[in-house]
Amino acid sequence: MLIERHNAILELARQMGRVSVDDLARRFDVSPQTIRKDLNELCDRRLLARTHGGALLSSGIENVGYEARRIISSKEKADIGESVAALIPDNTSIFINIGTTTEAVAQALLQHRGLMVITNNINVASLMRGYSQIEVVIAGGVLRHSDGGIVGEAAVDFMRQFKVDFAVIGASAVDPDGSLLDYDYREVKVTKTIMDNARHVILAADSTKFERTAPVRVGHLSQVTTFVTDYCTDPNFAKIAAEAEVNLIETGQRLETARL
């Protein structure tokens, strides 16, 4: 049977997406060693997945809640958003799909002019609605209540009407072999259509996506033009990117260099 503290740790992980050893030790007034033992036991039961300094909610089938995903690596996502926005000039057309990192990109694009943004993310549409210099086109289809994503065949057919300059996509997980993964096959169909109908595909995903897995294959890193992340710590993955001639931008490395 799980002890009471284990249940509390799991509930925090469900709310926040991830937990840290130091925060949990302070919250429960126990030593970090005790928390590490708790996390190891929960990971052994496949309820959590260990990360450096803490653990993630272990889920290869269902994603972390959308509000929790907004909190996870929010600073890193904001930096990624700024870097992606810097790649996109004024007076261009853009696909933006579902995701908290793509929302960070949309936030960073608000001062651009002459943009045409086609999206299946009602959060992005709502964010950009008040900016007259940006034309927002929103897809029709099935509204997914969990995150405001519009999915289904109607959304796929809608996206096929366009051929845009840039696509900004996210991924729920990035596999060590370069596979891009997600949870909902309906969303994957829309993302694939977006990738097929853009001249320049930008993948925006923070480094926690290397620590997760998901069951549905979106595509492969080689189908991406530019990958913007905070850190890529896997040399083999960086090699895959180089061999596929993918422009790999690490915002964490850039910020460290700027501070030196």
Within 8 A by CB and 6+ apart from 210, the residues are 174, 176, 232, 233, 234, 237
Distance CA 75, CA 73 (A): 6
The whole-number pLDDT of residue 17 equals 75
Chain-wide mean pLDDT for the chain? Answer: 89
The whole-number pLDDT of residue 29 equals 93
- Residues 167, 195: contact at Cβ < 8 Å? yes
pLDDT above 80: residue 182: yes
Residue 220 sits in the same domain as residue 107: yes
Q: Would you say residue 146 lies in a domain? A: yes
Residue 167 sits in the same domain as residue 82: yes
Candidate from 15-24, 43-52, 119-128, 213-222 with smallest mean pLDDT: 43-52
Distance CA 177, CA 156 (A): 27
Residue 11 sits in the same domain as residue 52: yes
- Residues 127, 108: contact at Cβ < 8 Å? no
Residue 162 sits in the same domain as residue 128: yes
> pTM of the entire structure?
0.76
Q: Would you say residue 147 lies in a domain? A: yes
Distance CA 118, CA 108 (A): 16
Domain residues for 14? 4-58
Candidate from 1-5, 185-189, 219-223 with smallest mean pLDDT: 1-5
Residue 123 sits in the same domain as residue 31: no
Residue 205 sits in the same domain as residue 165: yes
Section 110-119 average pLDDT: 97
In tens, the pLDDT along 55-79 reads: 887 655 445 555 555 556 678 899 9
The whole-number pLDDT of residue 58 equals 62
In tens, the pLDDT along 188-209 reads: 999 999 999 999 999 999 988 8
